[in-house]
Structure 1
Amino acid sequence: MNLLENITNPALLFFLLGVLAVQLKSDLKVPENSSKFMSIYLLISIGFKGGQELSHNGITTEIIWSLLSGILLATIVPIISFLILRRKMSAANACAIAASYGSVSAVTFVTAASFLDFEQIHFGGHMIAVMAIMEAPAIVIGVLLYNYFKENNTTDKQENSIKSIFKHAVTNASVFLILGSLLIGFFATKEQADGIKPFTTDIFKGFLVIFLLDMGITSGKQLSAMISKGIYPFLFSTIMPFIYGLIALLISIEITDNIGNQLLFSILGASASYIAVPAAMKNALPEANPGLYLPMALGITFPVNVLIGIPFYYSILMVIH
Structure 2
Amino acid sequence: MDVSLIISNLTNPTLLFFILGIVAVFIKSDLEIPPQISKFVSLYLLFSIGFKGGMELAHSGLTAEVSTTLGIAVALAIAVPLYSFFILRSRLDTANAGALAATYGSVSAVTFITASSFLADKGIPFGGHMVAAMALMESPAIIIGVILIRMFSEDNIPQHHSLKHVVREGFSNGSVLMILGSLIIGIVSDEKQAEGIKPFTSDIFKGFLALFLLDMGIVAARRIKAFGSTGGFLTAFGLLMPPVNAVLAILVAHALGVSNGNAFLLAILASSASYIAVPAALRLAVPQADPGLYIPMALAVTFPFNIVVGIPMYYYLVELLCKGAL
- Are 2:41 and 2:212, in contact at CA under 8 Å, matched by a contact in 1? yes
Consecutive unaligned residues in structure 1, runs of 5 or more:
none
> d(CA) in 1 for partners of 2:154 and 2:170?
25
**Which residue matches 1:132?**
135
> d(CA) in 1 for partners of 2:220 and 2:255?
34
Look up the equivalent residue of 2:153 and give its one-letter code. Answer: K
Look up the equivalent residue of 1:166 and give its one-letter code. Answer: V
Q: What is the Cα deviation at residue 320 of structure 1? A: 2.9
Residue 157 of structure 1, aligned match among 159, 180, 191: 159
**Which residue matches 1:80?**
83
Look up the equivalent residue of 1:157 and give its one-letter code. Answer: Q
Residue 117, structure 1, aligned to residue 107, structure 2? no
> d(CA) in 1 for partners of 2:244 and 2:89?
18
> d(CA) in 1 for partners of 2:261 and 2:226?
34
> d(CA) in 1 for partners of 2:14 and 2:137?
26
Residue 70 of structure 1, aligned match among 48, 68, 73: 73
Residues 100-138 of structure 1: per-residue CA shift (max 9 Å, x gap): 000000010000001111111111000000000000000
- In terms of mean alpha carbon deviation, does 206-215 or 171-180 score higher? 171-180
Residues 65-89 of structure 1: per-residue CA shift (max 9 Å, x gap): 1111111111111111110010111
Shift of the 152–232 alpha-carbon distance from structure 1 to 2, 3 Å rule, reads: closer
Residue 51 of structure 2, aligned match among 48, 52, 55: 48
Residue 61 of structure 2, aligned match among 58, 76, 86: 58
> d(CA) in 2 for partners of 1:10 and 1:255?
35
Residue 148 of structure 1, aligned match among 143, 146, 151: 151
Residue 207, structure 1, aligned to residue 208, structure 2? yes
> d(CA) in 2 for partners of 1:268 and 1:242?
11
- Are 2:65 and 2:258, in contact at CA under 8 Å, matched by a contact in 1? no
- Are 2:69 and 2:258, in contact at CA under 8 Å, matched by a contact in 1? no
- Are 2:74 and 2:136, in contact at CA under 8 Å, matched by a contact in 1? yes
Q: What is the Cα deviation at residue 153 of structure 1? A: 4.4
Look up the equivalent residue of 1:201 and give its one-letter code. Answer: S
> d(CA) in 2 for partners of 1:146 and 1:161?
13
> d(CA) in 2 for partners of 1:293 and 1:100?
7
Residue 32 of structure 1, aligned match among 23, 35, 40: 35
**Which residue matches 2:92?**
89
> d(CA) in 1 for partners of 2:240 and 2:28?
29
Residues 264-299 of structure 1: per-residue CA shift (max 9 Å, x gap): 000000000000111111111111111111110000
Residue 9, structure 1, aligned to residue 12, structure 2? yes
Q: What is the Cα deviation at residue 254 of structure 1? A: 2.6
Aligned residues: percent identity? 52
SS of residue paired to 1:104: coil
SS of residue paired to 2:159: helix
TM-score by length of 2: 0.95
TM-score by length of 1: 0.97
> d(CA) in 2 for partners of 1:297 and 1:174?
16
What RMSD in Å do the two structures reach over aligned CA positions?
1.3
- Are 1:66 and 1:130, in contact at CA under 8 Å, matched by a contact in 2? yes
SS of residue paired to 2:48: helix
**Which residue matches 1:230?**
231
Residue 301, structure 1, aligned to residue 305, structure 2? no
Q: What is the Cα deviation at residue 258 of structure 1? A: 2.1
**Which residue matches 1:248?**
249
Within 5 Å, give how 1:276-287 maps onto structure 2.
276-287=277-288
Q: What is the Cα deviation at residue 257 of structure 1? A: 4.3
Consecutive unaligned residues in structure 2, runs of 5 or more:
none
**Which residue matches 2:111?**
108
**Which residue matches 1:258?**
259
- Are 1:12 and 1:307, in contact at CA under 8 Å, matched by a contact in 2? yes
SS of residue paired to 1:287: coil
Look up the equivalent residue of 2:187 and give its one-letter code. Answer: F
- In terms of mean alpha carbon deviation, does 124-133 or 219-228 score higher? 219-228
Q: What is the Cα deviation at residue 152 of structure 1? A: 6.0
Residue 187, structure 1, aligned to residue 200, structure 2? no
Q: What is the Cα deviation at residue 207 of structure 1? A: 0.4
> d(CA) in 1 for partners of 2:244 and 2:319?
19
Q: What is the Cα deviation at residue 262 of structure 1? A: 1.0
